[in-house]
Amino acid sequence: MSDAVIEIRNLSKIYRDFWGRKKVQAVKSLSLDVMKGEVFGLLGPNGSGKTTTMKMLLGLLFPTSGEMKILGKPASDVSKNEKIGYLPEESYLYRFLNADETLDFYGRLFNMTAAERNRRADELIEMVGLGKARRRQLKEYSKGMTRRIGLAQALINDPDLVLLDEPTSGLDPIGTREMKDLIVQLKAQGKTVVMCSHQLADVQDVCDRIAVLFQGELKVLGRVDELLEMRNEMQIRTSALSDEAVADIRKVLEKHNIKDAEFSRPRADLEQLFLRTVRESGERPGRRFSTEEVAASGRKS
Amino acid sequence: MDFDIRPYDFALATRSWLMLAGALTVICLALALVLSVARNGARGIGIFTSGLKSYLDDLVSISPRRILALTNLTLKEAIRRKALLVFVAFAVLLMFAGWFLTDANERPELQVSVHVTFLLTAISWLILPAVIFLSVWALPEDIRIRSLHTVVTKPARRLEIVLGRMTGLGIVAITMLVVMGVVGLGWLYRAIPSTSRSALECRVPLFGELFFITADGQPADKGLNVGDVWAYRSHIAGNTRARAVWVFPGFNESALTTNEQGEKDLLLECRFEAFRTIKGSEASIKKGIEAQYTISHNPREEAFGSLSQSESLRPLADALRDGQFRNAADRMKELAQRMRTAPDELRPQDYAGLQFGLTIAGALLKEMKNDSFGDVPDAFIAASTAGQDLIIQLRRKAETQSREAVSHEEFAATLDRVAAGLAENADGLLEGMPRTEVPLPHFHVSEYHDGEESINVTAVPQTLRFVADYETLARFLARIVDEWNAQGKLLDGSSLKPGLAETLASEAKISQLNAERFVEVLQEQLTAGTVQVADNQLKVANGKTWFIFLDELIRGEKLVSQDPQGWMIEKDLMKDMAPNGYLRVEVACVNDQMYLGMARPDLFIRKANQSFAVGYSKALINISLMLLLIIVLGVTVSCIVKGPVALFFTLTFFLVGQFFHEFMLRKLSGVEQGMGTFESAVLLAQHRNPQVGMDVSETAQAVVKGADKGLEGVLWAFSNIVPDFTIFNRASAYVENRFDVPLMECVIPAIVVFFGFLLPCILISGALLKFRELESK
Ligand SMILES: Nc1ncnc2c1ncn2[C@@H]1O[C@H](COP(=O)(O)OP(=O)(O)OP(=O)(O)O)[C@@H](O)[C@H]1O
Ligand SMILES: [Mg+2]
């Protein structure tokens, strides 16, 4: 068998009520493979079945029909969990534990020794930036902090396959950036990452391949760069042009029969703006930025 | 409840457990298969087998570290959720309990009972709700807020989750119990007034078996009924031959207690019911009815008592019981003769009674292993076998209504053999089966008013001094003569030793007057030549044993006591009265026209007291087992249903097991009277009574009765699935009533019941959690 870490064949899921009546068909004959070492994005609008698919992969839900193999084992086999890290949609953790206890608890579930657990906990808490809050109970945590400790517990066992359900939800842009960096880093370590999201920008930045679900059906599946490449458009980027230069260029284009060229100053996307602001605020505290400054620094970067 | 200790039938319990567990396994597997097929069609079978395999895999890959992690989690949760607040409630309760409980005027025993009852009740009813809620809520809450998702996506097996939960909650419960138990014990010692503190003890009873002897001297299962609706106690009539007889098996040195003088005593504690037919004098009302214990050792009664079951055998049985074996031999011969000539005069029940009596006698005589009985034991056994054959033939004849005569000759011949044996070995039999009866001083049983029962504790010294009856005296003197003969202490040349009376009085512990009388009689007989000196020993002239010789003398009134006290002799309670490891105590009512009522637990031997702390700890152990069982049940139920529903089920289990378990068993075994549910409903609707029956067609009747049968089946299943919670509280009841908790009958069974439920519950809950979707709401 090739390097498929996850194989899904004709997977369907129908949610039923107590009496066995059909409520929703959340997933409809889904088939896809996730290869070893890639970052795979599951996309789709709310309610399209992303979380459902992931839960079936983990054995939390039982499929109505279809086959699944995850790390070469059936989804119902608990031993596969040894090498899987899972970050749920919301962090479902024990709120009366503090960060240290949380990581220690999950570490024990992997039968890790005390020394190993401590080492790993220190690393992870450092990584997710909760050093100051590690002794506080999770019920006092903000949403983003909860998300971070959730991520830390998902990585406690140094998994080969990481399943992230909306990893960036609830995170501030720095967190989002860090999360994306982390995903790239995981990929560099040769791990496989599967993430769900409807935040296209995030997906676009990190994913190698994506699948788009809509009402439980697979609509698009392919490599991100291929999917996003637009063959009938061309973009030119220069430093700022004078109006005469623009007029000249238009003439040249008209000569080539291109009449619908668009000229405008590019905008930084908000994410970049936010990131920059926060970064520079850290360097020069107590200062407010004017629009010009922001634009100028945007050009600089 | 009574404090009657009944042994727990471990073999039966194991057998029914295995049967039920087997049935349950089969049912569960079949159910799972059917469900799987119903859901998934043909693929269901494959899913079922792979599910089963993965379940078995889980079983073998259980990891203690993971269970410990989950246990730890449960503990932290309980602490951080403030479950330990129950301690505050407990402390408050204890602080103010004193206002309601102390009443220095009460009898010490009652004060102690009230305090202990309060404490044990407070402990169990404070922890109980906490434990029920924790166990029933933990898992459903975990599933609801989905924290379980994060756990099950780790390598934790679902079985381990269940185990971790159970262990953690168990530790919580036991911690609560131990803390409260220790604090409570300290409180008891402070709260009970110092004057009553000595009653803080655990009595250790040794219970016996009870049967009765009727006013005409025959053994019976029950005594009289004086008209109580609840015939719990049976009565014996005063001033008749009626007796209540307790036999205490397993009676040995350990049943005795050491009194203040350092001597060994037998303590008999009783609480009888006094029943009067006349008021009597004022003094008698105040004192109560007189009763008397007699300690007896009577192998003849045991061997031959059962022969007296049927009326026509009474004379024979009485002769045997009185030790008149020659007379008995004649009667036996008569019986054999009657059987040959007029076999139909004896009714079938006479044959059955005779055969039964012969069997018992044969077995017991054989057990005594006495050579001087000759072939009597074997003759009895042979007769019993022949009797058995005859009874079978008679029954067959009755069934087939054949006219063919059945030969009684064989049975009659064996009876003749018994008769011959009895006549031949009469003296040996009499010698080998001594009857000793030691009457004890009278005591009073007052009528009880309103919960105040009259408890009597009688101390019986190990060395009994009592007035001997003829037979006992003859045996006693004969033994002295035999022993002293052997030691050469009787004779000086060919005459009695001078000063023999003095040595007799001091060494055999009889009064000087009686000793002198005995020596005098010996001298008379020596002079008359009925007693001779041969080989330096005093011998009976006609070659009979001393016992037979002296017995005849005593019966001939030749040895009447000169002492106003009578012939006082000494016997050892252990050696002389209970040589075979059991003690027989008879109770008589002395006053004419008065009755004493008694039931088996009303009289017991009190062994040395157990320390209160030990009995109390045993009660706590049983309470903790109850709490653990509730946890196990609660967690199991909560694996499949939501919190409130799980709470409902667990409470139902507990309440039914606590209050209706006995009722269910009684109903099933038919002890509880009444119609089935549906039949009763029909009767009710038709305004008819059970005797008249339902006014419906025959088919309708069959339907209604069938439905009732079905309901009974459900009840049966229920009674076996719902644990008998009373087994856990029984220990508390013992301690509350100042009894020790018997280990084998109360603590071990509770442990066994707990584990009997634990194992299936773990397996079932593991499966329930494994094969459910955690998502479905
Ligand atoms: N427990 C459930 N019971 C019934 N229906 C459910 C359940 N969970 C999800 N669904 C339904 O299944 C469909 C898919 O839900 P799912 O949670 O997989 O969507 P999603 O793609 O993760 O959406 P989102 O982006 O909002 O997280 C939805 O229509 C949802 O209503
Ligand atoms: Mg989702």
The domain locations on chain A are 4-228, 232-301
Whether B166 is covered by a domain: the verdict is yes
Last residue of a domain, one of B607, B632, B662: B607
State which of B543, B577, B607 marks the end of a domain: B607
Distances (CA, A) of A137 to A88, A148, A151, B82, B192: 19, 14, 16, 15, 46
Q: Which ligand is nearest to the CA of A30?
A: 1
Of ligand 1's listed atoms, the one at least distance from the Cα of A198 is 25
pLDDT at position B223, please?
Answer: 80
Interface pTM, i.e. ipTM: 0.82
Q: How far is CA B624 from CA B129, B650, B728, B751, in A?
A: 13, 17, 9, 10
Assess A46–B contact: CB distance below 8 Å, yes or no.
no
Q: Say whether B50 and A59 touch across the interface (CB within 8 A).
A: no
Q: Do A79 and B155 touch (CB under 8 A)?
A: yes
- Split into its structural domains, chain B has a count of 4
- Which residues on A lie below 8 Å from B63 (Cβ)? 111
| Pair B314, B420 in one domain | yes
A61 in contact with B, Cβ within 8 Å: yes
Give me the domain span that covers residue B290.
204-298+437-459+599-607
What pLDDT, on a 0 to 100 scale, did the predictor assign at position A269?
61
CA distance A62 to B279: 82
Contact list, B147 vs chain A (CB under 8 Å): 92-94
- Quick one: A4-228 is in which CATH superfamily? P-loop containing nucleotide triphosphate hydrolases (3.40.50.300)
Residue of B nearest to A102 (CA): B73
Cβ–Cβ contact A78 with B under 8 A = yes
Closest CA–CA distance from residue B634 to any residue of chain A (Å): 21
Which residue out of B48, B55, B153, B163 would a mutagenesis test of the A interface target, given it has the greatest number of A Cβ atoms within 10 Å? Answer: B153
For residue B102, the model assigns a pLDDT of 63
> Which residue positions in chain B have pLDDT lower than 50?
1, 450-451, 777
Pair (B543, B396) in one structural domain: no
Are residues B441 and B423 both part of a single domain?
no
Question: Would you call B108 helix, strand, or coil by DSSP?
Answer: helix
**A chain contacts of residue B149, beta-carbon cutoff 8 Å:** 55, 60, 88, 92
- Beta pairing class for B594-598 and B234-237: antiparallel
Residue B728 lies in a domain: yes
Which atom of ligand 1 is found nearest the CA of A213? 21
Instruction: For residue A170, report the distance from its CA to the centre of ligand 2, in Å.
Output: 13
- Of B607, B637, B665, the one marking the end of a domain is B607
Q: How far is the CA of A217 from the centre of ligand 1 (A)?
A: 13
Residues B81 and B181 sit within 8 Å (Cβ to Cβ): no
Q: What is the CA radius of gyration of chain B?
A: 35
B628 and B651 housed in the same domain: yes
Distances, alpha carbon B642 to alpha carbons B135, B152, B683, B769, in Å? 12, 18, 40, 12
CA of A141 vs chain B CAs: smallest distance (Å): 16
B534 and B429 in a single domain? The answer is: no
Check residue B671 and give its pLDDT.
Answer: 61
Residue B227 lies in a domain: yes
Residues around the ion ligand 2 (C-beta < 5 A): A 51, 89
For A96, the closest of B72, B76, B148 (CB atoms) is B76
Q: Does A153 touch chain B (CB under 8 A)?
A: yes
Q: What is the pLDDT of residue B200?
A: 85
Distance CA B584, CA B346 (A): 34
Q: Rounded to an integer, what is the distance from CA B419 to the centroid of its chain? A: 38
Q: Is B155 helix (H, G, I), strand (E, B) or coil?
A: coil
Residue nearest to atom 22 of ligand 1 (CA): A51
Ligand 2 centroid distance, CA of A44 (Å):
9
Residue B26 and residue B74 in one domain: yes
| Mean local confidence (pLDDT), A157-168 | 91
Compute the distance between CA of residue B665 and CA of residue B32 in angstroms, rounded to an integer: 30
B639 and B723 assigned to the same domain: yes
Nearest CA to ligand 1 atom 6: A15
Higher pLDDT, A285 or A189: A189
Chosen from B35, B76, B154 to mutate, greatest number of chain A CBs within 10 A: B154
Q: What is the pLDDT of residues B298-307, one digit of tens each?
A: 899 889 988 8
Rounded distance, CA B295 to CA B437, Å? 6
Residues B497 and B617 in one domain: no
- Closest residue by Cα to atom 25, ligand 1, is A46
Task: For residues B294 and B317, state if they share a domain.
Answer: no
Are residue B497 and residue B559 in the same domain, yes or no?
yes
Q: Do residue B640 and residue B759 come from a single domain?
A: yes
Closest CA to B200 of B221, B210, B185, B214: B185
Nearest to B417 by CA among B457, B375, B385: B375
* Whole-number pLDDT of residue A101: 93
Q: Which residue of B has its CA nearest to A112?
A: B65
Q: Per the CB < 8 Å rule, is A106 touching B72? A: no
**Shortest Cα distance from B77 to chain A (angstroms)?**
7
In chain A, which residues have their Cβ closer than 8 Å to the Cβ of B154? Answer: 81, 106, 109-110, 157
Are residues B58 and B176 both part of a single domain?
yes
Number of Cβ within 10 Å of residue B728's Cβ equals 29
Taking contacts as CB-CB distances below 8 angstroms, the residues of chain B near A97 are 73, 76
